[in-house]
């Protein structure tokens, strides 16, 4: 039987989920059943959440676990009466912060993922649009505006990385693919080499690349292990020859690729 | 003088940032200077982080605040010796969780945003690709595969919302724009009405729409307040007439739009 987990928030629930996920991944031998209850911002909704948690059928020693990111102390205490074990973010940390900052918390709901800053919102939208019109080498080539240009063969993870960099950090990331027609004797085109400091490479294990490509075009030359090996050999040689910093994306999530890329380069996050 | 904040993690730093952000937005009258120190996963790196924190020039009553998401207890205790106020995620919550779950934490580094599950990774990549080829009504129209089709006028937030839904939740979201040529007498085309249950609308305040469009095409008919008012009036009438659930995106972040959209519909998150 799966252990019941509730993620209760007065906002989007994203912080509660990150909090729960970080802690629960430390207990990988247990199966969890997660339920997010977002926008619990009134006493009525807190009542409903409380009832929901208490209705769960569980044995005495397998009570639900409740991750709570609710700022209003009255709602928070109300939900904390539930039958579960409560992990209360604001309950644990607001007090030491108030003491360190020598000021009271504003106890305002839903600030965490709210559109507090219009400039930030516009930058993010603009960075997403930038990534889209400069995706896959197509279109604009407005590389003067790029914070970063990501290079790699087809399906090595360039596009999701660029979009994540835009959404999460407001970074303007273009990407440019090298295709089999460019090989052998892969060279860096002038429109890229003139932005040398912005270049960053992605590589990937040829076997995984072949699997990913096979889902797209089964039994094609494009997806064959031989073709993938050739392309990866060529592109890694290019990265080394041109001294372009690069990462192997094989066993990494988009979050890991993006944050390691930032750590390895001088690119500045906008938030 | 800004208050110094450090976000120290053995992984990407994303959880530490979410944690810090959630708590610090409660203190809006204070200016913070944030530094993320990711991938602190060895004693050497913990030493460097500790030195970095202790080098900060601060007065006695304005010590740095350190948000810590480091799982290894030895590294964690090492960094916690710093001059700052330490908000220690694992230190506070692992013990109650171990007791509730009656099992020891695995104390494994960097699980939170690692590519633990290859299926999940592939779903996410696939959902991003789906959003891209079904963006802005162009291309594929493979709506049978969509979890959701987002409707709205140009620049009402459809594309970033679809990409966020894909990256964050593995939701396959297409989007379709209505343009001035469709108006007046806006109608739902058959290729959309046959997927009625998947439809969701976005609307926006005409003034904000006009501002956003003006940045793209200044002094155009497209960006004029009159045109924006007409388009919004038409599309809201369409949503009401066709009973399509919709949200006003005006003062909302992409996270809020996405999570409210999920709450208002039956769409299933894949993670």
- Average pLDDT of chain B is 91
pLDDT at position B114 is 63
pLDDT at position A110 is 64
CA distance B42 to chain A (A): 16
How would you label B176-192 residue by residue, b for 16+ Cβ within 10 Å and e otherwise?
bbbeeebbeebebeeeb
Name the residue with higher pLDDT: A122 or B110: A122
Say yes or no for a CB contact (<8 Å) between B97 and A65. yes
Residues in a beta bridge with B148: B173
- Residue B132's closest chain A neighbor by CA? A132
Nearest to A251 among B26, B113, B115 (CB): B115
Say yes or no for a CB contact (<8 Å) between A27 and B167. no
Q: Does this chain's domain B3-101 share its CATH topology with B118-264?
A: yes
CB of B48 within 8 Å of a chain A CB? The answer is no
B chain contacts of residue A92, beta-carbon cutoff 8 Å: 92-93
Tokens, residue A70: 């609710």
The pLDDT tens digits along chain A (271 residues) read 789 999 999 999 989 998 999 999 899 889 999 999 999 999 999 999 999 999 998 777 789 999 999 999 999 999 999 999 999 999 999 999 999 999 998 887 766 666 556 677 788 888 988 988 888 876 557 898 999 999 999 999 999 999 999 998 999 999 999 988 888 889 999 999 999 999 999 999 999 999 989 988 899 999 999 999 999 999 999 999 999 999 999 888 888 999 999 999 989 988 8
A 49-108 residues with CB < 8 A to B: 61, 63, 65, 69, 71, 85, 87, 89-90, 92-94, 96-97, 99-103, 105-108
Q: In what order do the strands lie in the sheet with B3-9?
A: B32-37, B3-9, B65-69, B85-88
What is residue A34's DSSP assignment?
E
Return d(Cα B112, Cα B11) in angstroms, integer. 8
Say yes or no for a CB contact (<8 Å) between A252 and B115. yes
Tokens, residue A35: 């339920």
What percent of chain B is modeled with pLDDT above 70? 96
Name the residue with higher pLDDT: B184 or B247: B247
Q: How much is the average pLDDT of B184-205? A: 93
Q: Tell me the pLDDT tens digit for each residue of B137-151.
A: 765 578 989 999 999
Nearest to A26 among B92, B105, B121 (CB): B105
Which of B162, B137, B200 shows the shortest CA–CA distance to A163? B162
Say yes or no for a CB contact (<8 Å) between A97 and B159. no
Is the separation of the CB atoms in A79 and A8 below 8 Å?
Answer: yes
- Domain B3-101 CATH assignment equals 3.40.50: yes
CA distance B26 to chain A (A): 5
CB of A38 within 8 Å of a chain B CB? The answer is yes
Is the separation of the CB atoms in B110 and B16 below 8 Å?
Answer: no
Residues in a beta bridge with B150: B175, B200
Name the residue with higher pLDDT: B251 or A165: A165
Say yes or no for a CB contact (<8 Å) between A115 and B13. no
Give the pTM. Answer: 0.82
Name the maximum alpha-carbon separation found in chain A.
68
**Would you call A50 exposed, middle or buried from its count of C-beta atoms within 10 A (0-12, 13-18, 19+)?**
buried
Return d(Cα B132, Cα B261) in angstroms, integer. 19
Return d(Cα B131, Cα B124) in angstroms, integer. 11
- Residue A66's closest chain B neighbor by CA? B97
What is residue A269's DSSP assignment?
P
B chain contacts of residue A255, beta-carbon cutoff 8 Å: 12, 14, 113
A 168-197 residues with CB < 8 A to B: 168
Say yes or no for a CB contact (<8 Å) between B26 and A87. no
Say yes or no for a CB contact (<8 Å) between B115 and A14. no
B chain contacts of residue A6, beta-carbon cutoff 8 Å: none
- Residue B33's closest chain A neighbor by CA? A271
Bond from prior residue into A184 cis (ω within 30 degrees of 0) = yes
Concatenated DSSP letters for B213-251?
HHHHSTT-TTT-HHHHHHHHHHHHHHHHHTT--EEE-TT
Instruction: Calculate ∠ Cα B81-B85-B87, nearest 5°.
Output: 95
B chain contacts of residue A14, beta-carbon cutoff 8 Å: 18, 168, 255, 259
In chain A, alpha helices (H): 14-24, 43-55, 73-80, 89-101, 118-133, 158-169, 190-193, 206-216, 225-241, 254-264
pLDDT at position A115 is 58
Confidence at B220, pLDDT banded by 50, 70, 90: very high
pLDDT at position A117 is 64
Confidence at B113, pLDDT banded by 50, 70, 90: low
Judged by DSSP in three states, B3 sits in: strand
Whether B8 has a pLDDT exceeding 90, the answer reads yes
Taking only Cα atoms into account, the Rg of chain A, rounded to an integer number of angstroms, comes to 24
Q: Tell me the pLDDT tens digit for each residue of B157-194.
A: 999 999 999 998 999 999 999 988 888 889 999 999 99
- Domain B118-264 CATH assignment equals 3.40.50: yes
Concatenated DSSP letters for B93-147?
HHHHHHHHHTS-----TT-TTS---HHHHHHHHHHHHHHHHTGGG-TT--GGG-S
pLDDT at position B133 is 84
Say yes or no for a CB contact (<8 Å) between B106 and A3. no
pLDDT at position A111 is 66
CB of A256 within 8 Å of a chain B CB? The answer is yes
Judged by DSSP in three states, A218 sits in: coil
Say yes or no for a CB contact (<8 Å) between B29 and A3. no
Domain boundaries, chain B: 3-101, 118-264
Residue A78, CA distances (Å) to A43, A54, B68, B138, B189 in order: 8, 13, 29, 49, 48
What percent of chain B is modeled with pLDDT above 90? 67
Is the separation of the CB atoms in A173 and A160 below 8 Å?
Answer: no
Helices first, then strands: H and E counts in chain B? 10, 8
pLDDT at position A109 is 72
């Amino acid at each position: 039987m799966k252990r019941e987990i509730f993620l209760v928030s007065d906002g989007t629930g994203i912080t509660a989920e990150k909090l729960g996920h970080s802690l629960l991944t430390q207990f990988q031998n247990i199966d969890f059943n997660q339920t997010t209850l977002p926008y619990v911002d009134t006493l009525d909704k807190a009542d409903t959440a409380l009832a929901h948690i208490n209705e769960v059928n569980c044995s005495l020693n397998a009570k639900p676990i409740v991750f709570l990111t609710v700022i209003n102390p009255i709602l928070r205490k109300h939900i904390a009466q539930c039958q579960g074990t409560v992990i209360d973010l604001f309950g644990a940390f607001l007090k030491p912060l108030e003491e360190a900052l020598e000021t009271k918390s504003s106890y305002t709901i839903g600030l965490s993922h709210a559109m507090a800053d219009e400039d930030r919102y516009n930058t993010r939208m603009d960075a997403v649009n930038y990534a889209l019109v400069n995706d896959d080498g197509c279109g604009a080539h407005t590389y003067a505006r790029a914070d970063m240009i990501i290079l790699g063969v087809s399906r090595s993870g360039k596009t999701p990385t660029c979009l994540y960099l835009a959404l999460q950090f407001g970074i303007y990331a273009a990407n440019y693919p090298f295709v089999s027609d460019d090989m052998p004797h892969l060279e860096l085109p002038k429109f890229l080499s003139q932005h040398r400091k912005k270049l960053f490479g992605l590589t990937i294990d040829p076997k995984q690349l072949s699997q990913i490509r096979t889902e797209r075009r089964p039994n094609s030359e494009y997806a064959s292990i031989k073709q993938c090996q050739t392309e990866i050999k060529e592109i890694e040689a290019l990265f080394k020859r041109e001294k372009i910093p690069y990462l192997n994306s094989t066993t990494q999530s988009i979050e890991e690729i993006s944050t390691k890329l930032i750590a390895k380069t001088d690119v500045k996050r906008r938030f």
